[in-house]
Structure 1
């Protein structure tokens, strides 16, 4: 069983990742703050790391070099909701093994971690694919978090009316 450390400030997304990856024989641990990440790496010595690029007000890119220095053989994948060619190049130069844009499905994660899904779990990959409604809800919440809960700023950034955004936020997330 491989050890996976998930460094992600969005607790619900991290929990979703744990649930998905546990199905594929990973022993998962979570860290939600950048200042705890390096300590967790040294303590747990994971085989693989999923690192969020935006950790509250911190930048996950700054963690790549210290993690790589501490764990040179770890498989390190950077996840981001704000993908760009510039940050992808920067992440790879700093030592990331892969760079994935959120939302990410299980197949993409397993491929990035160089884990071939077995035949039995291949059926589960389709189950883990998020619905369009779930992707929208997670994206809205991610943008809302990046705007520190400011609904008006989030609505402007998403190009929708504030009331529409408030209605969408009141709905519970679709399970998948």
Structure 2
């Protein structure tokens, strides 16, 4: 699926990339252009919303956390302007709660960074009734546990005491888990 001839982008290959990591944005833009997309980039929520309003693209890849706000605001604007757009939300802070929020708001798929151009293209072009291929590197049991704790923590509005109570866990134990990086 790497070359442009093999991709069926439809009549409108416009793609919006929104990310505040300039180096990543440039690399991904170049890779997506090689695959046949007509790429436009933005480094902020405001820039992404402006492009979505002026020239709504057929495809979009939006980072969840941007310096000036939440990438889901860009997803909402694009979904309002172009309901059939295929949107992938990218983030370095992968948690189940944010994935659910992204899909509920209108994202087609949700990928954790680092995601390469092939992963992004597969997510953008996947058919709704088509099951994605099984992951090459599935989450470990420790990661699944961490994701569950993060989800409950977010649902409790980041209240450590309430999260600990709901998980039947000692508060100090939960604080130690939350202070650590996510397991692989």
- TM-score higher than 0.5 here? yes
The whole-number CA distance in structure 1 between the counterparts of 2:39 and 2:89 is: 16
Shift in CA distance, 11/21, structure 1 to aligned 2, threshold 3 Å: same
Displacement over 3 Å in runs of 4+ = none
What is aligned with 2:41? 30
3-state DSSP class of the match of 1:113?
helix
The whole-number CA distance in structure 1 between the counterparts of 2:42 and 2:59 is: 14
What is aligned with 1:87? 98
Does 2:97 align with 1:98?
Answer: no
Task: State the Cα distance separating 1:157 from its structure 2 match.
Answer: 7.3
Shift in CA distance, 46/36, structure 1 to aligned 2, threshold 3 Å: same
Does 2:2 align with 1:20?
Answer: no
Root-mean-square deviation (Å)? 2.2
Which structure has the larger Rg over C-alpha atoms? 2
Number of residue pairs the alignment of both structures matches = 120
Q: Which 5+ residue runs of structure 2 have no aligned equivalent?
A: 1-11, 128-178
3-state DSSP class of the match of 1:29?
strand
The whole-number CA distance in structure 1 between the counterparts of 2:41 and 2:109 is: 19
Q: For each residue in 1:97-149, what CA deviation from the matched residue of structure 2 results, as whole angstroms up to 9, or x when unmatched?
A: 10000111122111111179xxxxxxxxxxxxxxxxxxxxxxxxxxxxxxxxx
What is aligned with 2:149? none
Deviates more, 1:34-43 or 1:80-89: 34-43
Q: Which 5+ residue runs of structure 1 have no aligned equivalent?
A: 117-155, 159-176
What is aligned with 2:71? 60
The whole-number CA distance in structure 2 between the counterparts of 1:51 and 1:76 is: 7
What is aligned with 1:42? 53
